[in-house]
A and B are shown apart, each in its own frame.
Chain A
């Protein structure tokens, strides 16, 4: 029964998440509270964990909530449920896309959508940047944060640095400088 509830809750969460994981956190909270799976304080922990561990936030949250409520089985069911809408909807959309992507109207549509993506990612950079700087700006730490962020931007945007090496390097530098 609880597995079924986990499945239906996380399927719904996957289905109604558009435009990135942060939007889905509010929905996840709503569902978790509805079923009484966690207290609000525990949910704050979930968000914290989902943010500091690698992987899509939705997947991390599903695995964590599933595990807390019904063990490993619960983790697998919740995670499977949260990605199932992706599988279905991408299958439909990619078929339509493959068929019509060379049509005039779809090409014009994407000519309008591409700059939207640029604006959305730019806005995310500013918002995440402000939040990060607020949490890491005391004294000299603010300078380190600016340098690390700026150097990453320069290297990845203009120098073709490997993002994985940059992240590992940033973790090592963070270990040393954020005291």
Chain B
């Protein structure tokens, strides 16, 4: 009984996350954090940032990867499937409707205006995700330096994102080992 309710909760939580994700995975981070950490306690606040980092470091969309991650952790493969189905179902349902009615959809002024509001809010959501991640993930001057370097490398598309993450990991290993050696 308890197990079954976890499957259906995984499905509904990630269904909600899939339904309210606009403009790519980053905008969904505050929503995922709220649902996973605050509402359901499926991960601790300091873990969620590591899960986001891992979700970004492996192939696939961030939202999908996070869903699989949390589902696996709670209920193994079946949990992962429940979360995965949850996060993709709204997309499939909505796209199947829109694929038939695209031309009406594209010229509907009300929808376009409402979507302009959503787009403006999405910018704020992504900025809030950065702020909250910074509060949890940046603890010293080295961290601040890494934030700046990662920001520049990615904002100006200098190297692929995966290499920025690899560099950060290597930097962390080298920097904190040296510090431990000193102490």
A-side residues, CB < 8 A to B, are 14-24, 45, 48-49, 51-60, 63-64, 67-68, 72, 75-76, 79, 82-83, 85-87, 89-91, 93-94, 97, 101, 104-105, 108-129, 132-133, 135-136, 141, 144-145, 148-157, 160, 162-164, 166-167, 169-179
Q: Are A94 and B54 in contact (CB under 8 A)?
A: yes
Q: Tell me, in angstroms, the Cα distance from A76 to B96 when the chains sit together.
A: 10
Known: A56-B91, A112-B168. 14 other contacts (CB 8 A): A56-B24, A59-B88, A87-B68, A90-B80, A97-B54, A112-B173, A113-B168, A115-B134, A119-B147, A128-B23, A129-B126, A135-B119, A151-B124, A176-B113
CB distance from A142 to the nearest CB of B (A): 10
Instruction: Specify which chain B residues have a CB less than 8 angstroms from the CB of A172 in the assembled complex.
Output: 114, 117
The 9 A-B pairs of least Cβ separation, nearest first, read A174-B117, A112-B172, A152-B124, A119-B150, A55-B91, A86-B60, A19-B161, A114-B137, A116-B168
Instruction: Specify which chain A residues have a CB less than 8 angstroms from the CB of B92 in the assembled complex.
Output: 59, 63, 75-76, 79
With A14-B60, A132-B122 as known contacts, state yes or no: A91 contacts B147, CB within 8 Å: no
Which one of B94, B113, B121, B133 contacts A54 once the chains associate, using CB atoms below 8 Å? B94
Instruction: Specify which chain A residues have a CB less than 8 angstroms from the CB of B52 in the assembled complex.
Output: 117
Q: Are A119 and B148 in contact (CB under 8 A)?
A: yes
Cβ-based interface call for B87 (8 A): yes
Q: Are B88 and A174 in contact (CB under 8 A)?
A: no
Cβ-based interface call for B44 (8 A): no
Q: Are A109 and B172 in contact (CB under 8 A)?
A: yes
Q: Are B164 and A54 in contact (CB under 8 A)?
A: no
Cβ-based interface call for B120 (8 A): yes
Secondary structure of the B side of the interface?
helix
B-side residues, CB < 8 A to A, are 16, 18-27, 29-31, 34, 49-50, 52-65, 68-69, 72-73, 77, 80, 84, 87-88, 90-92, 94-96, 98-99, 102, 106, 110, 112-134, 136-139, 142-144, 146-155, 160-162, 164-165, 167-173, 175-177, 180
Q: Tell me, in angstroms, the Cα distance from A38 to B164 when the chains sit together.
A: 34
Q: Tell me, in angstroms, the Cα distance from A15 to B88 when the chains sit together.
A: 17
Q: Tell me, in angstroms, the Cα distance from A155 to B125 when the chains sit together.
A: 9
With A148-B120, A152-B121 as known contacts, state yes or no: A120 contacts B56, CB within 8 Å: yes
Among B116, B139, B161, find the residue whose CB has the most chain A CB atoms closer than 10 A. Answer: B116
Which one of A19, A105, A110, A133 contacts B56 once the chains associate, using CB atoms below 8 Å? A19
CB distance from A126 to the nearest CB of B (A): 6
Q: Tell me, in angstroms, the Cα distance from A53 to B96 when the chains sit together.
A: 11
With A53-B95, A118-B133 as known contacts, state yes or no: A174 contacts B116, CB within 8 Å: yes
Which one of A14, A21, A114 contacts B24 once the chains associate, using CB atoms below 8 Å? A21
Instruction: Specify which chain A residues have a CB less than 8 angstroms from the CB of B137 in the assembled complex.
Output: 114-115, 117-118
Nearest CB in chain A to that of B150: its residue: A119
Which one of A68, A144, A152 contacts B125 once the chains associate, using CB atoms below 8 Å? A152
CB distance from A171 to the nearest CB of B (A): 4
With A14-B60, A85-B59, A114-B49 as known contacts, state yes or no: A22 contacts B131, CB within 8 Å: no
With A59-B88, A108-B176, A124-B26 as known contacts, state yes or no: A90 contacts B68, CB within 8 Å: yes
Which one of B114, B147, B151, B161 contacts A23 once the chains associate, using CB atoms below 8 Å? B161
Q: Are B20 and A132 in contact (CB under 8 A)?
A: no
